[in-house]
Structure 1
């Protein structure tokens, strides 16, 4: 009898704990890549979206949250950041975004430097950002290293330590290659040729047979998945003519590529779409700050989307780390310049989730991960802010060091008033 009683108590505890992990969001306006719904209830169970419908009835032990028509969105995704690898730009010891060691370029894994305790993470998570691509920068060669995908959960972690190999072309690539875009393309082809040769001769190389490669074995090993088409090459490029060269190269080597920047992408939008190449861009980049961006324009996102290009957003400019959540403001600017709201939401939720292999995430659908944000207004309006943030189906604290500093000095300022 005692054993039966103990088991009964344990069962009750398990049921109560399961209920405690479940939440019903009542009367929310869903705002996703598919558009907007006027009203819906969303039931979250065990970290997943269990049911979406109207007038869902649940056990009283399940916590009910009255949205009262507030907007509910998937968590935000910024597709180009330095989150967790850069704290204070002016203090070199806190910056791990690049390396000047020429012996390690494509093999560099930025994930090895990721700091899950970065003070930037709670700040961005509390503002609705849950996923970020952390991208290394080129300093010692064309290849910057390998980008990583991170999740800003209550304890941030690396989801995938190598989602793409990053290469720099355009004006910076020109400088890194010795002063010529032609040299940069030649060096890139040489690296790809060597990686293909190494792939066919790796066993012999590991047994001691040597070849005179210009790239290190470590870098060539890192490029194996790229030349075999299993991992994308993320190419940072701006000028339309350079984009065309990259598309030709991708076809020649049968590469899976992603463009980053593409400020002049609208000029070759049809070619990008035909090649089925996604584009990471900041929609507010419209100034001719360099010769390679003379044709930058605010409706770049709209023109690319109309051509059928898959868009992924970053923003806002240098804020894309410390305030990476402002990617939604960049999305809002894209809408102000012709992009549909649904397409803008897709660019900061569903599209990057699909491109970077996050299964059943980045959308509000039954069975999907319950990474959600409940807003006090339109999420694409800069003055809106999250009412509640859900990670893996549970509300998380919206406190951060930035908020604590704000409160401390605001209260002091109030006390100092005459």
Structure 2
């Protein structure tokens, strides 16, 4: 059992607790009280009035697949042999020794969703991990966190550029509809065979699609431009699928529509140059418009597009651009946890949740601040 004492706790659930005592045991938060009693025998860490926050969450990265310092690693994130590859799983391509994981912990990031890239219309399944350990299977929180999909320039350029279908935005949509339709047909045939007691040959890609059809996990759709965002919504509505919007760069142009549709958006990477046409209106104004419209969003780095250790810097830049600090912190914690459908475990400091905590040298949205201690499942990760 461990206890953090004398902390200014930004709970993200019930305001700020001064002189807080956080008790942790068996990887979970046991209690949080102002001036609380430390259980007998607990290891005590006096943080001397420093700020403690929940661990930050990056809901869209490619860490471990696009490895730091490996030439050509960007290509490793896409199984660029077909426009539709639902059988691909991000978990199978992760190198846990990638320094990106350590960089994340040292920046106060204790959870991330790793996704395949956006070269394919259907790219494969994502995985949610905590960035600690040398065996991927022990890092996993959720092995199938959603089916990655993509619209817009990337699949057009990657697939059409090789003389393959699709080569237009119309083709993107048609390809996505066919892939989803094929999955529904597969499910119907499988159910029919099971009822008749007949042999049925399993298809791994279609099996990966079944949790999407059942509503267990969402589609996670790469879409920057407003029309691509609307196409993503249109297609998922047609098939009755849950979904998240990944990037949502022009979300500010249709913020009221996104609010009406009750979407969840992962916005970023915003602090980069405008490398293609569909991101020419990229900027922090997207976050301001989504906040005004009541659209929930989290902030992402798309690591290594932005190095994952700069996630807190992105939040600080958003605040400089006019976003209020509370919303910026929510975008790194409770909203990111909700985006990953893990709000019952992560994103706030409450009894029963995972003991993923960060002790800061100063204000976490001051770029001069750094984590002086990080706990993942109650275990300290940095030298104090």
Q: Shorter-chain TM-score category? A: 0.7 to 0.9
Aligned residue in 2 for 1:272: 258
1:32 alignment partner, SS class: coil
Secondary structure of 2:124's aligned partner = strand
- Match for 1:331 among 304, 309, 315? 315
Local SS of the residue matching 1:198 = helix
Name the counterpart of 1:248. Answer: 234
State the Cα distance separating 1:60 from its structure 2 match.
5.8
Residues 389, 398 of structure 1: 8 Å contact kept: no
Contact 1:316–1:329, Cα closer than 8 Å, also in 2: no
Q: Which residue of 1 aligns with 2:128?
A: 149
For residues 318 and 305 of structure 1, what CA distance do their matches in structure 2 show?
26
Looking at structure 2, the residues matched to 66 and 90 of structure 1 have their Cα atoms a distance apart, in angstroms, of: 40
CA distance 1:281–1:382, shift in 2 (3 Å): same
Q: Contact 1:22–1:44 (CA<8 Å) still a contact in 2?
A: yes
2:91 equivalent to 1:117: no
Moved more, 113-122 or 382-391: 113-122
Cα distance change, pair 275–61 in 1 and its aligned pair in 2 (3 A): same
Tell me which of 309, 322, 327 is aligned to 2:295. Answer: 309
- Note the residue ranges of structure 2 that are not aligned, 5 or more in a row: 160-164
Q: How many residues align?
A: 371
Change (3 A) 1:376 1:300: same
Alignment correspondent of 2:184 = 196
Q: Which runs of 5+ in 1 are unaligned?
A: 1-20, 211-215, 400-418
Q: What SS class does the counterpart of residue 162 from structure 1 fall into? A: coil
Range moving further from structure 2, 110-119 or 369-378? 110-119
Name the counterpart of 2:213.
Answer: 227
Please give the TM-score of this superposition, normalised by the length of structure 1: 0.80
Is the 8 Å Cα contact of residues 168 and 235 (structure 1) preserved in structure 2?
yes
Tell me by how many angstroms 1:203 deviates.
Answer: 4.8
More off after superposition, 302-311 vs 119-128: 119-128
2:280 maps to 294
TM superposition shift of 1:247:
1.5
Please give the secondary structure, in 2, of the residue aligned with 1:223.
helix
1:30 is displaced (CA, Å) by: 2.2
Residue in 2 that maps onto 1:354: 338
Secondary structure at the counterpart of residue 145 of structure 2 = strand
Partner of 1:6: none
Superposition RMSD on alpha carbons, in Å?
Answer: 2.7
Listed as ranges, the matches of 1:14-163 within 5 Å are 21-30=1-10, 32=12, 35-59=15-39, 61-88=41-68, 90-92=70-72, 96-102=76-82, 105-139=85-119, 141-154=120-133, 157-163=139-145
State the partner residue of 1:18.
none
8 Å contact 2:106–2:309 — kept in the other structure?
A: no
Structure-1 separation of matches of 2:26 and 2:39: 15
State the SS of the aligned residue for 1:384. coil
Which entry has the higher C-alpha Rg, 1 or 2? 1
CA distance in 1, matches of 2:234, 2:68: 39
What CA distance in whole angstroms lies between the structure 1 residues aligned with 2:168 and 2:27? Answer: 51
User: What corresponds to 2:162 in structure 1?
Assistant: none
Report if the CA contact (8 A) 2:148-2:221 is conserved. yes
Taking structure 2 as the reference length, the TM-score comes to 0.87
TM-superposed CA distance for 1:312, in Å, is 1.6
Q: In the alignment, which of 396, 400, 403 is matched to residue 381 of structure 2?
A: 396
| CA distance in structure 2 between the aligned counterparts of 1:99 and 1:230, rounded to whole angstroms | 25
Q: 1:101 to 1:397 in 2, by over 3 A?
A: same
- Partner deviation per Cα, 1:211-252 (whole Å, 9 max, x = no partner): xxxxx9433332222233222111101111221122222221
